[in-house]
Amino acid sequence: ASSLCLYRWYYSRICQWGLGLTIAALLLLAFVERPSSLSVSSDGRHRSPPWEPPCGFTESIEMVCLLIFCLDLAVKSYLIGWDEFRKGKWLIGYTVVLSFSIIDWVLSVSMVCDERLRVRRLLRPFFLLQNSTLMKKTLKCIKRTLPEIASVILLLALHLCLFTMIGMLLFAKTDDPKRNGEWELHFRDLPQSLTSLLVLLTTANNPDVMIPAYSLNRGYAVFFVTFSVIGTYCLMNLLTAIIYNQFRGYLLMSVQTSIIRRRLGIRAAFQVLGCRGAQHSTEDEQVGVDAVLEAMSRVQMKTYCRAAITTEVQRYADVGHMDREQFRKIFDELDKDRIKEHPPLPQYNSPVLQRLQMIFSHYYLTILGNAVALANVMCICTVLVLNSEKSTAERDNFLLEIINLCFILYYVFEMCVKIFAFGWRGYLSYRNNIFDGFLTVLLLGLQILIYATYRLPHAHWDPSSHLMSLWEMIRLVNMLIVFRFLRIIPDIKLMALVASTLLDLVKNLRAFAGILVVVYYVFAVFGIWLFEGAIKPPPEMSVISNTTMENITSNFSMECGTYEQLSYWSNNFDDFAASLILLYNVMIVNNWQAFMEAYSRYTSDWAKVYFVCWWLTSSVMWVNLFVALILENFIYRWDRSHSCSVTDVERIRYETSLQLIFK
Amino acid sequence: ASSLCLYRWYYSRICQWGLGLTIAALLLLAFVERPSSLSVSSDGRHRSPPWEPPCGFTESIEMVCLLIFCLDLAVKSYLIGWDEFRKGKWLIGYTVVLSFSIIDWVLSVSMVCDERLRVRRLLRPFFLLQNSTLMKKTLKCIKRTLPEIASVILLLALHLCLFTMIGMLLFAKTDDPKRNGEWELHFRDLPQSLTSLLVLLTTANNPDVMIPAYSLNRGYAVFFVTFSVIGTYCLMNLLTAIIYNQFRGYLLMSVQTSIIRRRLGIRAAFQVLGCRGAQHSTEDEQVGVDAVLEAMSRVQMKTYCRAAITTEVQRYADVGHMDREQFRKIFDELDKDRIKEHPPLPQYNSPVLQRLQMIFSHYYLTILGNAVALANVMCICTVLVLNSEKSTAERDNFLLEIINLCFILYYVFEMCVKIFAFGWRGYLSYRNNIFDGFLTVLLLGLQILIYATYRLPHAHWDPSSHLMSLWEMIRLVNMLIVFRFLRIIPDIKLMALVASTLLDLVKNLRAFAGILVVVYYVFAVFGIWLFEGAIKPPPEMSVISNTTMENITSNFSMECGTYEQLSYWSNNFDDFAASLILLYNVMIVNNWQAFMEAYSRYTSDWAKVYFVCWWLTSSVMWVNLFVALILENFIYRWDRSHSCSVTDVERIRYETSLQLIFK
């Protein structure tokens, strides 16, 4: 009984939230730890030395987190018992990682924070993985897909090697120096040819790599086009197909497993409750309604599910007991979605008020509101276009301010009128209104602040005396108005479907986002470890010329398209935040060869391995997983939303089988 | 009866092939017509004036094609009758396009080929579309998808506009010139901001666009990352999902329609045959076996299908007639795939020969062959690496030649031995062996040619006296050897599945390839019309410095990343072939902004509309269609190939329903 209590306490919401917060705190430490990311810019040319935490500050936070994890591990192993503990690979891994981290921590404290290698940082994402069932499942799914992915990657490698060899044969050095352009720039030796074609596989150097050969002879384009069509279009998309295919099967099975588990749980609950109410049983097993109701009142579940099940159970109150089939059936309520009901409109007695309520609750008011919001955005746009070349002093802020004021007053009016028509609770029951109202109140507050600070009638003020200048305040107001314009989305039907799919996606994305965090974390820590301070920006630039335009001029001495010429100095591995952005830029793929080339030039050619690994993990694996997720989600949602409107026989048959699968 | 004869003749293979050839000839005229693509290079700096066909040459070919189309139209309209003709939109379109083309042709001949506008060129792809049922179906499918695509594109446009406004507000001109980098380069006015973010949506300017702001403050990265994640990852992939979803449903329905049509045809055939054999019918309708057999001998179908059906029919020979159900069942044979049988191994009498046959037909011989091929490729690779920096004279071609000879002799030996073991027909019944044998024979021929030309014992020869130098011949041999290495693919199981999916894809791709051809054709002709000769490469370069290295040096006076600095001169709209390659480069997306920027600079800002339209059509629409096709194909094939091995209940249930759908 005490262990059951502990179990309930451990899996209570507070406890799990606490654990999640601890993990988040531990992961976020990477931003503060040396090399700390707490500087305005990551650009080595003009960044102030960041605030470095004193030794022992991050370490003590870390120790607290680790101790909480120890406690967590102890509770978990106590709860599931020693036999299960030995079998679970994740728990054994947890123990190993935890003890290793503590040993590493002790070492690092004993060296007074002067260590170069912080291996435990690499291991931190493990805590995140270990804590989420969904992520573990997704990882298992990815593991299952690996053989097929490996076969495509093997095919890609074969494709790459064959084309590299054919390319080297095709663009070999000839006696005529005029015809050596391609050889000189892209096919000089094996590593260079391999890199050129690998980058072409990602399309990141597409027209450039073929230009020297193509401008000599059109025929050479065939080589590059064939390479891209087979590699980029066919093989890469086949990877998407494979991942989607595997993923489709996996979701199906995991959902079925969880349904079977729930069935088992319900069956067990029936058995237990049946034993307690043994006096009722005659020949068949039965449970008493009182026992079920008592159990229901203690179980943790969503309130509307509980209410629905309790109502169902009370239908058997006059019989006093229910058999197995009936017991199973009442839990079908869990599968039903909650139907959202809006509170009724408030009743007014005066006929004038009723008339007004009818007008204001009409759909046309929303359309008018959208039109006004559009007008406001257009207005801001016009002012922006007119002001784009003017300096701050030349801009006429007053006019814009007064226009904004009018619009914001209309918004406030619209909000009040809607609250009047729908009532306070009715207004808030629409998610759209919450978004709208929140922004309106914020805008009103900002406007009041502006008037309080600047007292507009006095047209001349000292711009330096205030925290924010009038122009910046108005800029903020304008951004909020533009953002508020998003309220039109739910009013356009197809856009609403698409947008709600996106919102749905965000919910289902947690496991993927978690894995993305893990992958980014490991690669960023690894990157800092390998490349910290590898690229030193030229110091004289930060002294003499600082503006971008001048940089461009002074960069003309460098070769075009390189890291230095593009002044990518702020993309480096000198701190955690900067590494994340660099990794993101490589994930986006465009121009990733500039980073790869620069780091392999400043350190060694082996740096390419790091970048290719990251490209494979992020852009090939993760992006394809993401596409698979979007496909899965959209198709499921589409089938569900069209089940009523389309009477197509095939579709319904298909759709119901899908619904059975995914429920 | 004569019209039936005409029908059979019109739909015979020869006639349809002839029509296809005519369409191909008409389309290929674009390469020859002025501006003709018959020059070695498309680079304006060093291209010789291309061969221009004399006036009347292409025109006469065109007229012949048009006359053939007229004949085709006449036959078609005669065959389907006037009532049907009036209803078919495609046929009316065919008439209109054809008459318009002829009028345009007459005009152009009367102007002695001096016209600027050739509108009929734009209309030519219509003939391709009109001739293919599959393409018309696919077009209909795309048309059905358009509303959903439009909603996503609307959402994308909203996303783009909102972010443009927020970006303009965020990066507005400030008083401090040091902080104006972002404004100056990317957010100067509304069109520029819109272009910057549109290009960012395609990721083509990814790190560059954020560099000036990001190097000032890390926080600005959030703006760009949010934009890319929502736009590029979510919305663009949603487009893939939508297209795939729609496409999935469409294929299903079109396949079902064709099954229903075939059923109807079989039922009608039964009725007709039943009428002819009316003397047999007692109370139920029945057909005589003789009548069926006679009809079968005249029908056009695949030989193995006909054989199977005839065998089936002959089982009823003793009864002499068959009822409706039996008649329907015999045509199920059409759905079965042909099981390929290899001819039996030849029988040898001598025990030594039998022993040898057993050895040579063993699987290990194939593996050994693969190993030898790998060794040969490795050898070539080593020589390539060693030779990469050497000039032609320094290379030791003899050694390589002798190594190649040894390997090729082994290949010939392998081929002979396999022919001995499997027999001549058995050898050719494997597709793999055909590939292998063809390349081996080709290689042997080349080797003999090399020895005949150079007589290797005489080590010194005059390189200029022969058509191809020894080095070029060896290069060709090496390429063929590398290409031959592809024979290993079918021996690796997973790779074989992936590769066969790709091959399957090529079969199913015809409709898509056709639409791609249409789209490319129309845009290329339109592009030539709009932009021919718009960009003139600097003439002095072609005189003074011609090598690529010197170009790079002399290009330093231009801004990096522009069309001029990257010397994209060969990518232009000056002839048809060059436009195709330019359009392909824009489809690949990387660096497409360079083309867009250059053409809008040399002509007018409206050129951007052309490029954005092409981007939407090719990269957004067509690539997504292609991904949908790959997904469809792979998943279907995967399900079919795993139906025997995986005993998973869900999968088989799912799979059989899919098979029913797609058969």
In chain B, residues with a C-beta closer than 8 Å to the C-beta of A184 are 548-549
- Written as six digits, the tokens of B203 are 């990721």
Measured in angstroms, the CA of A443 and the nearest CA of chain B are apart by 16
Tell me the average pLDDT across A1-25: 86
DSSP line for A181-245: HHHHHT-SSHHHHHHHHHHHHTTTTHHHHHHHHHHH-TTHHHHHHHHHIIIIIIIHHHHHHHHHH
Per-residue pLDDT band at A296 (split at 50, 70, 90): confident
Helix (H, G, I), strand (E, B) or coil at A494: helix
* Amino acid letter for position A610: Y
CB B419 within 8 A of CB B427: yes
Are B546 and A178 a contacting pair at CB < 8 A?
Answer: yes
Measured in angstroms, the CA of B490 and the nearest CA of chain A are apart by 11
Residue with the larger pLDDT of the pair A615 and A541: A615
In chain A, residues with a C-beta closer than 8 Å to the C-beta of B650 are 252-253, 256, 661
* pLDDT at A316 (0 to 100): 79
DSSP line for B271-307: HHHHHHTTTT-SSS--EEHHHHHHHHHHS---HHHHH
Euclidean distance between CA atoms B395 and B392, whole angstroms: 6
Are A560 and B566 a contacting pair at CB < 8 A?
Answer: yes
Are B505 and A234 a contacting pair at CB < 8 A?
Answer: yes
Q: Which residue of B has its CA nearest to A478?
A: B169
Of B162, B549, B555, the CB nearest to A482: B162
Euclidean distance between CA atoms B49 and B43, whole angstroms: 11
Helix (H, G, I), strand (E, B) or coil at A350: coil
Residue identified by tokens 């197909």 is A241
* pLDDT at A554 (0 to 100): 46
* pLDDT at A553 (0 to 100): 45
Res B359 pLDDT > 70: yes
- Written as six digits, the tokens of B176 are 């401090």
Q: Among the residues of A55-189, which ranges form H helices?
A: 57-87, 89-110, 119-123, 125-131, 133-170, 181-185
Residue pLDDT, tens place only, B442-470: 989 988 888 887 765 555 555 555 556 77
In chain A, residues with a C-beta closer than 8 Å to the C-beta of B215 are 41-43, 45-46, 567, 569-570
* pLDDT at A399 (0 to 100): 78
At B383, which helix (H) or strand (E)?
helix B363-387
Q: Over pLDDT 90: what percentage of chain B?
A: 13
Tell me the average pLDDT across A414-442: 86
CB B298 within 8 A of CB B289: no
Q: Which residues contact B277 (CB under 8 A, 6 or more apart)?
A: B286, B287, B288, B290, B291, B321
Are A173 and B570 a contacting pair at CB < 8 A?
Answer: no
Euclidean distance between CA atoms B329 and B312, whole angstroms: 9
At B322, which helix (H) or strand (E)?
strand B321-322
CB atoms closer than 10 angstroms to residue B38: 12
Measured in angstroms, the CA of A104 and the nearest CA of chain B are apart by 32
Residue with the larger pLDDT of the pair A165 and A114: A165
What residues are paired with A288 via a beta bridge? Answer: A321
Q: Which residues contact B406 (CB under 8 A, 6 or more apart)?
A: none
CB atoms closer than 10 angstroms to residue A16: 12
Euclidean distance between CA atoms B420 and B433, whole angstroms: 13
Q: Whose CA is closest to B37, among B48, B26, B24?
A: B48
A170, A206, A629: best to mutate for the B interface, most B CBs within 10 A:
A206
- Assigned CATH topology for domain B351-491: Four Helix Bundle (Hemerythrin (Met), subunit A) (1.20.120)
Q: Is the ipTM of this complex over 0.90?
A: no
Q: According to the per-residue pLDDT averaged within each range, which of A49-53, A182-186, B163-167 is highest?
A: B163-167
Radius of gyration of chain B measured on its C-alpha atoms: 32
Per-residue pLDDT band at A338 (split at 50, 70, 90): low
Of B189, B552, B590, the CB nearest to A388: B189
Q: Which residue of B has its CA nearest to A566?
A: B208
Are A571 and B234 a contacting pair at CB < 8 A?
Answer: no
Are A168 and B388 a contacting pair at CB < 8 A?
Answer: yes
Encode burial over B382-407: b for 16+ CB neighbours within 10 A, e otherwise. Answer: ebbeebbeeebeebebeebbebbbeb
Q: Among the residues of A361-469, which ranges form H helices?
A: 363-387, 397-428, 431-454
- Residue B106 CB-half CA count within 13 A: 5
CB B473 within 8 A of CB B489: no
**CATH class, B138-251 region:** mainly alpha
Q: Whose CA is closest to A527, among A575, A562, A570?
A: A575
Are A211 and B170 a contacting pair at CB < 8 A?
Answer: no
In chain B, residues with a C-beta closer than 8 Å to the C-beta of A244 are 631, 635
Measured in angstroms, the CA of B190 and the nearest CA of chain A are apart by 6
Q: How many CB pairs under 8 A join A and B?
A: 348
* Amino acid letter for position A160: L
Are B552 and A559 a contacting pair at CB < 8 A?
Answer: yes
Specify the DSSP class assigned to residue B233. Answer: I
Q: Which residue of A has its CA nearest to B652?
A: A249
Are A631 and B40 a contacting pair at CB < 8 A?
Answer: no
CB A310 within 8 A of CB A293: yes
* Amino acid letter for position A633: N
Tell me the average pLDDT across B95-123: 83
CB A234 within 8 A of CB B502: yes
Encode burial over B355-364: b for 16+ CB neighbours within 10 A, e otherwise. Answer: eebeebbeee
Q: Which residue of A has its CA nearest to B593?
A: A207
Residue with the larger pLDDT of the pair B377 and B401: B377
Q: Whose CA is closest to A591, among B658, B211, B481?
A: B211
Helix (H, G, I), strand (E, B) or coil at A284: coil
Per-residue pLDDT band at A304 (split at 50, 70, 90): confident
A423: left (phi over 0), alpha (psi -120 to 50) or beta: left
* pLDDT at A67 (0 to 100): 92
Res B203 pLDDT > 80: yes
CA A250 to chain centre: 22
Tell me the average pLDDT across B419-445: 86
Per-residue pLDDT band at A549 (split at 50, 70, 90): very low
- Written as six digits, the tokens of B339 are 């099981």
Q: Whose CA is closest to B229, among B206, B209, B196?
A: B206
Question: CA dist B638 to A635, B350, B634, Å?
Answer: 19, 46, 6
Residue pLDDT, tens place only, A44-58: 777 777 777 887 888
Res A374 pLDDT > 70: yes
Residue pLDDT, tens place only, A55-102: 788 888 989 999 999 999 888 888 888 888 888 888 889 999 999 999
Per-residue pLDDT band at A290 (split at 50, 70, 90): confident
Tell me the average pLDDT across A336-355: 77
- Measure the CA dihedral B208/B214/B216/B222, to 10°: 150
In chain A, residues with a C-beta closer than 8 Å to the C-beta of B387 are 172
In chain B, residues with a C-beta closer than 8 Å to the C-beta of A147 are 494
Specify the DSSP class assigned to residue A334. Answer: G
Of B173, B385, B388, the CB nearest to A391: B173
Measured in angstroms, the CA of B394 and the nearest CA of chain A are apart by 11
In chain A, residues with a C-beta closer than 8 Å to the C-beta of B235 are 502
Provide the sign of the torsion angle of the four alpha carbons A137, A139, A141, A144, taken in this order. Answer: negative
Q: Which residue of B has its CA nearest to A652?
A: B249
In chain A, residues with a C-beta closer than 8 Å to the C-beta of B646 are none
Residue pLDDT, tens place only, B480-514: 888 888 888 877 776 777 777 777 777 777 778 88
Are B181 and A205 a contacting pair at CB < 8 A?
Answer: no
* pLDDT at B251 (0 to 100): 57
Of B256, B570, B635, the CB nearest to A215: B570
Are B549 and A494 a contacting pair at CB < 8 A?
Answer: no
Of B207, B217, B225, the CB nearest to A571: B207
Are B151 and A494 a contacting pair at CB < 8 A?
Answer: yes
Percent of residues in chain A assigned helix, strand, coil, to nearest 5: 75, 0, 25
Euclidean distance between CA atoms B641 and A81, whole angstroms: 44
Q: Over pLDDT 90: what percentage of chain A?
A: 13
Measured in angstroms, the CA of B120 and the nearest CA of chain A are apart by 27
Are B499 and A155 a contacting pair at CB < 8 A?
Answer: yes
- Domains A153-237 and A507-535+572-633 equal at CATH topology level: yes
Are B169 and A546 a contacting pair at CB < 8 A?
Answer: no
A31, A211, A400: best to mutate for the B interface, most B CBs within 10 A:
A211
* pLDDT at A652 (0 to 100): 41
Euclidean distance between CA atoms B455 and B448, whole angstroms: 10
Q: Whose CA is closest to B552, among B538, B572, B569, B566?
A: B566
* pLDDT at B661 (0 to 100): 44
Least confident residue range of A180-194, A468-482, B283-297, B456-470: B456-470
Euclidean distance between CA atoms A659 and A652, whole angstroms: 10
Q: Which residue of A has its CA nearest to B253?
A: A650
* pLDDT at A501 (0 to 100): 74
Q: How many residues does chain A have?
A: 663
At A321, which helix (H) or strand (E)?
strand A321-322
Indicate the domain borders of chain B.
Answer: 2-131, 138-251, 351-491, 507-535+572-633
At A56, which helix (H) or strand (E)?
none
Euclidean distance between CA atoms B362 and B333, whole angstroms: 35
CB B650 within 8 A of CB A250: no
Are A548 and B492 a contacting pair at CB < 8 A?
Answer: no
Least confident residue range of A648-657, B84-93, B102-111, B392-401: A648-657
Per-residue pLDDT band at B277 (split at 50, 70, 90): low
Residue identified by tokens 């309106």 is A440
Residue pLDDT, tens place only, B308-344: 778 878 877 777 777 777 777 777 766 665 566 777 7
Are A41 and B216 a contacting pair at CB < 8 A?
Answer: yes
Res B162 pLDDT > 50: yes
Of A234, A475, A547, the CB nearest to B178: A547
- Assigned CATH topology for domain B507-535+572-633: Helix Hairpins (1.10.287)
Residue pLDDT, tens place only, B53-69: 887 888 889 899 999 99
CB B324 within 8 A of CB B285: yes
In chain A, residues with a C-beta closer than 8 Å to the C-beta of B225 are 581, 584
Mean pLDDT of chain B: 80
- Assigned CATH topology for domain A153-237: Helix Hairpins (1.10.287)
Res B99 pLDDT > 80: yes
B187, B211, B439, B520: best to mutate for the A interface, most A CBs within 10 A:
B211
